[in-house]
Amino acid sequence: MSTPKALRQSAALRYGSAGFLIFWCLIAAFPIFWILVMSFKSPVDAFASNPLDVVFGPVTLAEGDGLSIMDVILGLGVLWLSFRFAFRHLPEMVAKFTKPGSVILGWVIAVLGFALAFIVVFFSILPWLLQGVNAITGPLGDPFIGLTVQHYVSVWVENEFYRNFINSLVVTGGVVTVSLTVGTLAGYGLARSGSNLAFWLLILALIFRALPHSVLVAGYLPVFINSAEFLRPIFGDAAPTLYGKPYAVIAVLVAINQPFTIWMLRSFFQNIPMELDEAARVDGCSHFQAFRRVIMPVMWPGVITTGLFSFLLGYNDFLVTSLLLDAQNQTMVPAIAGYFNRETTTTDQVEAIAAAVSITAPLFLLVMVFQRQIVSGLTAGAVKG
């Protein structure tokens, strides 16, 4: 079908719009791409004022860390093949080898197995292979671009960043599970009740959503620090001090996240026709049985989408975790503040960059896998009003 003449656009408009789009994509991706590049260079290169120096890293190269053309070609090739495999063949294999009931388990095993295979191939077989290849290919095998992983090693091994990573996992995992469990129930209740009470609850949630988090933390802090005294009448001498405990932070983040979660889940539940509940009720289900056996199986897309946004909230939070967790239980994002506040040497700075890239990498994967869900989640709340 050809466009009607009246709708056809002038060349200036078409190029203008394409140019704007390219410009935007550059701006959107550049800072993230740039910290990725910087994190692999020695400090002198990373903060060089000439961009070419940052990309090719002459100082890093002079220190003996570099990649040859063959390294780059083969490395990119393996990356491309593994991405292709992950997005084309892995889903098919999961569908083939798992029974319908255990799809989630199948995916967990598949992802873990894939990650393990990737690590083995990329970090031990490939370097071994490349040593041989570089020796044979002559000029193609000489290093030409500086690249070092020492900052990642010092962040993850020497500074024990993996502890923060585990803490982040605990907090975000807890936040996602609890807020989805509590949120689906409430979202369903609110979607199926047209009463004034439901309306007022939603408005209350909207007001709660607008509260600055520091206001709430100002309320928790004194209580959490002294909680052993408050809770002694109930728990006796085993009364815990809530300050610094991950589960206390999980509870706080779940509560902060609740307004958003129930709004979003409610709009997903409203898309599921009422007739489905009614049919189940006619067949003799109670409200709760109808919810569990009939509604939830068709709700998974909505739940996954809302779970993604809960994940983002828990993972990205700085304010609550930095104020309510002690150094021992610190998550990744507040921990990075420690790096750039030291500002003693430029090496610290580059280590901070490596830590920042490490935090961003899981998010990048998340967008790759769940792009569609994120987009549908963003629009779900808005288009409904």
**Least gap, CB of 202 to another protein (angstroms):** 9
Got the DSSP string for 102-119?
GHHHHHHHHHHHHHHHHH
Nearer to another protein, 20 or 97 (CB): 20
Number of other residues whose CB lies within 10 A of the CB of residue 122: 14
Binding string to another protein for residues 72 to 101, with x set by CB under 8 A, is what? ------------------------------
State the alpha helices, DSSP H only, in 85-160. 90-97, 103-120, 126-137, 150-153
Instruction: Using DSSP, state whether 143 is helix, strand or coil.
Output: strand
- In angstroms, the CA 37 to CA 55 distance is 7
**Least gap, CB of 35 to another protein (angstroms):** 5
Interface of this chain with another protein, residues 266 to 305, rule: CB under 8 A: 287-288, 291
Q: Where are the beta strands (DSSP E) in 133-289?
A: 143-146
**Least gap, CB of 228 to another protein (angstroms):** 13
Joined together, the tokens standing for residue 360 give 């961003």
Binding string to another protein for residues 210 to 249, with x set by CB under 8 A, is what? xxxxxxxxxxxxxx--------------------------
- In angstroms, the CA 101 to CA 300 distance is 14
Tokens 């982040």, residue?
A: 168
Choice from 1, 104, 135, 207 touching another protein (CB under 8 A): 207
The residue type of 293 is R
Choice from 1, 136, 282, 382 touching another protein (CB under 8 A): 382
Binding string to another protein for residues 143 to 182, with x set by CB under 8 A, is what? ---------------------------------------x
Per CB under 8 A, 105 contacts another protein = no
Per CB under 8 A, 27 contacts another protein = yes
Tokens 């002459």, residue?
A: 58
DSSP symbol at 325: S
Sign of the C-alpha dihedral computed for residues 304, 187, 248 and 219 taken in this order = positive
Nearer to another protein, 68 or 349 (CB): 349
Question: Which of 109, 50, 120, 55 lies closest to 82, judged by CA?
Answer: 120
Nearer to another protein, 171 or 262 (CB): 262
Nearer to another protein, 5 or 99 (CB): 5
Nearer to another protein, 79 or 368 (CB): 368
Interface of this chain with another protein, residues 39 to 58, rule: CB under 8 A: 47-51, 54
